[in-house]
Amino acid sequence: MSDFTFPKGFIWSCATASAQIEGAWNEDGKGLSIWDTYCHTPGKIVDGSTCDVACDSYHLYEEDVALLKGLGVQQYRFSIAWARILPTGTVDVVNQKGVDYYHKLIDALIASGIEPVITLYHWDLPQSLQDLGGWLNRQIVDWFAEYARFCFKNFGTTAKIWITLNEPWVASWYGYAGDAKSHAPGGFQQHTPWAPYLCAHHMLLSHAAAYRIYEREFKNEQNGKCGISLNCHWKEPATSDPDDQAAARRAFEMQLGWFANAIFSKEGDYPLLMREHMAELSKQEGRATSRLPKFTQQEIQSLKGSADFFGLNYYMAHMVKSQKWSESTPNSCQRLRDGGYVEFFDPHWEQIGGKQSWIRNTPWGLRNVLNFVKNEYNNVPLLITENGCCNERYDGLEDHQRIKYVGDHLKAVSQAINTDGCNVIGYTVWSLVDNFEWAEGYTLLFGIHSVDFDDPKRPRRPKLSASWYKQCIEANAVVEAPQASPKTHV
């Protein structure tokens, strides 16, 4: 019997996202998204690929559902492509074929005994809204609210679990900072250092607006739940020096706390530490006001408690050391300059997924994050909405590194539940299938099922991790990993 078990009713799941798997980028009335535009711009994607076809799940969704049924998962987390159902981004134009697609997917899941978990926004903003300023335009709060209402009304009688936004921290920094790792929409320069903060501000207000609509208009009748998925890397101080200790806490609050504090804390605002830090930094820059926007009292009340569960995406930890940056520091990025720290990996941490991978196997960091949420946010029900690792293309099907990584993190979750008393209700592996990994194209693949992207039919094949994950689900525990063959290098 396993030493790492889970409570009765623990939820097992897999996840994907629309832009990464659906393909059919211009079929059946779908509008353009910012990722359609971005990956058609030369030089933006590492391998020059696009998400035009991806896994072709728009046509092959039944195969995906069959994979899920074979695993025995209780839930499947996927996202709706906003531009597929509302091509111009607003409810003025509805694409019924897109609506029908999601009805078919939801119905197929339910027929297979799998509960849909729907993410409203997983980074693929309609290009028509980006042309009006995207997340930097205050009007997007209304656009997102109407989109959310449309989805709740059309899909909420059968889909009961909703996630408003996926990783708004990534969307804000990677999409709207000129010197950070680039995601769509991109194109922002260093003279707009306020942009990531305004983007995040509007994303939080949009989340609150959508949640309150669900709460007022649909929750009692549909009997569902609505939350948000936030990403977080554990921030470990590099030394015992007080400056490094403070820098690590500041880095953590300026990632997880930036979004979680307003929703899950009693104050309903950005963390005090972040507010004070950004006010002082902005003053030093000669600004009359902070680059971090302020909420009104009405907005604070709307944000406070605007989630029925905490969705957490976790992949790894960082070491953090205090650092005084300047604009002229070579190779610095705004996020680190603003935070006043540098982050790096301990060289002893295991790198997972090849030399180009950004993943490190640090399961203790996940346990620390779970305990932080328990202690700071009243032990709110927490659903791990993403955790997983990559392999390189053509690595084969014997993904022992993934089994070790996922197994180590599942053990940490089991300890957090059974020893620490953390209210973790489920675990979602990223991802069900290999897919389009944003700016990395198809060079890093996260699926527990492979997809042959050289074959127009996009056949799926289970990796070794899929059968192992199935055994964990059946046992409701972490089962022993299969032995690696002598030729295994993955």
Q: Which residues are catalytic?
A: 167, 386
Peptide bond into 182 cis (omega under 30): no
Q: What is the DSSP string of 441-477?
A: TTSEE--SEEE-TTSTT--EEE-HHHHHHHHHHHHTB
- Beta carbons of 251 and 235 less than 8 angstroms apart: yes
* Orientation of helix 464-475 relative to helix 57-71, angle to 10°: 50
Residue 405 CA to residue 362 CA, distance in Å, equals 9
Backbone angles phi and psi of 126, in degrees to 5: -55, 135
User: Residue 242 burial by CB count (10 A; 0-12/13-18/19+): exposed, middle or buried?
Assistant: exposed
Cβ pair 168, 259 in contact under 8 A: yes
Q: Are 307 and 227 in contact (CB under 8 A)?
A: yes
Distances (CA, A) of 117 to 144, 156, 224, 260, 382: 18, 11, 10, 20, 14
Q: Which two tokens stand for residue 106?
A: 């939801």
Residues making up the chain, counted from first to last: 490
Rg (CA), the chain: 21
Tell which residue, 92, 358, 66, has the closest CA to residue 233. 358
